[in-house]
């Protein structure tokens, strides 16, 4: 079930909210758990049992880890979860590579990828590891642990919510009109970003992919549009997840912080998919030694982390190369480039970041490296296409407004302008009065778009 579907917006969500606030506080976790199971069952009926099995393994494993404090128990529990992730996500990838290297023809299993398995597996891993480290108390209630893992606002595309973030709120969370209104506003903003911007950019990218007549300019339009699409698509989902979490009394951490204004790739990864980059830092990079054991081991650790980051995103070599590209650039920045970047003008720093990120997402989007190389070569006219053609001009005119809005929306300009206006007491009161009406208008516009348009994918569902 998509957050941007009519069934979710006008049936599932209102019914869940109504039940949640009508029932006594002591059974609200049960309402959320049932709602989350229904939500997941709607999209993945058979794999709901896989998720429940993983929760049970984590529940029993964490209790044993807490009781006996044996590293072997942690290794077994973690291995089971990573093993299941590998089986369902990487089996065919490994078989394909064996066939290619050895010239064999082993049959592929063609196992369907369970929605959200990468996200909820990492949440489970953080929980059991933190129990072992003593950072969080073991959860004795299976219901509460299941509620944490399966919580529908962030179940299928993150952000990766660590148990420590909502540990107290599982037992005692506060509800207020302020929290509820913030949640509705944040959800609506995410909904608009997804439906009115990301989907439109996705349509433009789809037109590029299907076009027989490309041009150098069209390659650039595509690369920039896809870079904007993936930001608005994923950050929109995070906005909606954070908003829904707040409605139900949970405070999820931010997952994006205007990454396209970054002045280095290091800064970019402090602003992009924060929950994932911080997860790899805390559970892989630092345990490996981080930067504490000399330059050689630091380079090794960076390469391991970014290889795993690429693989986490998908079972394909383009994701591995995408991850390694960032790992290599981060190493270069740490070793010597970072010092020189500090002396560059800000606009040059941002162009440097945007260019690298754009190229990286061309690789990320491709189905194979041949396609990625062709799209990168096209940016520089190496494919023999003309500089510009009528086809490109037509689509550029058709989508110029949404691309322009996306460029502005990817910066904090609009947010800062609103904050400045709110400093004026009269304007602030007017904005507070207008806000409910603007939310209703956005919902009506989004609904009209959803009813009239069938193109409504979420890019990060495949991860």
For residues 349 and 262, what is the distance between their CA atoms, to the nearest angstrom?
8
Q: Catalytic site residue 313?
A: yes
Q: How many helices (H) and strands (E) does the chain have?
A: 21, 0
Q: Which of 175, 251, 273, 313 is catalytic?
A: 313
For 411, phi then psi, to 5°, come to: -115, 165
Query: In this structure, are residues 216 and 173 in contact, taking their beta carbons and an 8 Å threshold?
Result: no
Length of the chain as a residue count: 463
For residues 330 and 305, what is the distance between their CA atoms, to the nearest angstrom?
11
Q: What token pair was written down for 85?
A: 């992730």
Q: Distance from first CA to last CA of the chain, Å, rounded?
A: 16
Query: In this structure, are residues 81 and 122 in contact, taking their beta carbons and an 8 Å threshold?
Result: no
Say how many C-beta atoms besides its own lie within 10 A of residue 20's C-beta.
18
Q: What token pair was written down for 165?
A: 């973030």
Query: In this structure, are residues 5 and 461 in contact, taking their beta carbons and an 8 Å threshold?
Result: no
Per DSSP, the residues of 196-255 read: IIIHHHHHHHHHHHH-SS--HHHHHHHHHHHHHHHHHHHHHHHHHHHHHHHHTT--PPP-
DSSP H/E element including 408: helix 390-409
For residues 350 and 260, what is the distance between their CA atoms, to the nearest angstrom?
8
For residues 422 and 416, what is the distance between their CA atoms, to the nearest angstrom?
10
Catalytic residues: 313
């Amino acid at each position: 079930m998509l957050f941007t579907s009519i069934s979710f917006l006008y049936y599932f969500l209102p019914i869940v909210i109504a039940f949640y606030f009508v029932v006594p506080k002591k059974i609200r976790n049960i309402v959320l758990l049932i709602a989350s199971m229904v939500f997941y069952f709607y999209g993945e009926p058979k794999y709901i049992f896989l998720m429940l099995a993983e929760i049970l393994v984590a529940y029993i494993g964490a209790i044993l880890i807490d009781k006996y404090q044996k590293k072997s128990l942690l290794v077994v529990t973690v291995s089971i979860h990573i093993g299941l992730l590998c089986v369902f996500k990487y089996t065919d990838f490994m078989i394909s590579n064996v066939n290619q290297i050895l010239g064999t023809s082993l049959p592929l299993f063609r196992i369907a990828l369970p929605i959200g398995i990468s996200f909820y597996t990492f949440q489970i891993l953080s929980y059991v590891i933190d129990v072992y480290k003593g950072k969080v108390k073991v959860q004795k209630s299976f219901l509460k642990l299941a509620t944490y893992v399966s919580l529908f606002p962030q179940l299928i595309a993150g952000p990766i919510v660590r148990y420590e973030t909502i540990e107290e709120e599982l037992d005692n969370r506060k509800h207020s009109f302020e929290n509820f209104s913030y949640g509705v506003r944040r959800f609506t903003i995410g909904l608009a970003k997804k439906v009115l911007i990301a989907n439109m950019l996705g349509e433009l990218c789809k037109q590029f992919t299907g076009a027989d007549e490309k041009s150098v300019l069209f390659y650039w339009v595509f690369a920039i549009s896809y870079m904007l699409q993936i930001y608005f698509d994923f950050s929109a989902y995070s906005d909606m997840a954070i908003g829904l979490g707040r409605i139900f009394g949970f405070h999820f951490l931010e997952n994006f912080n205007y990454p396209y204004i970054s002045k280095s790739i290091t800064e970019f990864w402090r602003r992009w998919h924060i929950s994932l980059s911080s997860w790899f830092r805390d559970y892989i990079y630092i345990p490996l030694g981080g930067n504490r054991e000399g330059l050689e081991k630091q380079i090794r650790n960076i390469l391991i982390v970014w290889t795993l980051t690429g693989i986490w995103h998908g079972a394909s070599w383009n994701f591995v190369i995408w991850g390694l590209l960032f790992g290599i650039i981060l190493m270069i920045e740490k070793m010597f480039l970072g010092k020189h970047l500090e002396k560059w003008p800000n606009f040059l720093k941002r162009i440097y970041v945007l260019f690298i990120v754009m190229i990286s997402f061309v690789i990320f989007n491709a189905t194979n490296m041949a396609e990625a190389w062709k799209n990168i070569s096209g940016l520089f006219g190496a494919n023999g296409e003309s500089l510009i053609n009528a086809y490109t001009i037509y689509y550029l005119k058709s989508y110029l407004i949404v691309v322009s809005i996306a460029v502005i929306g990817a910066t904090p300009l609009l947010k800062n302008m609103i904050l400045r206006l709110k400093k004026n007491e009269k304007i602030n009161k007017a904005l507070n009065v207008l806000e409910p009406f603007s939310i209703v208008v956005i919902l009506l516009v989004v609904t009209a778009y959803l009813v009239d348009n069938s193109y409504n994918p979420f890019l990060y569902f495949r991860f």
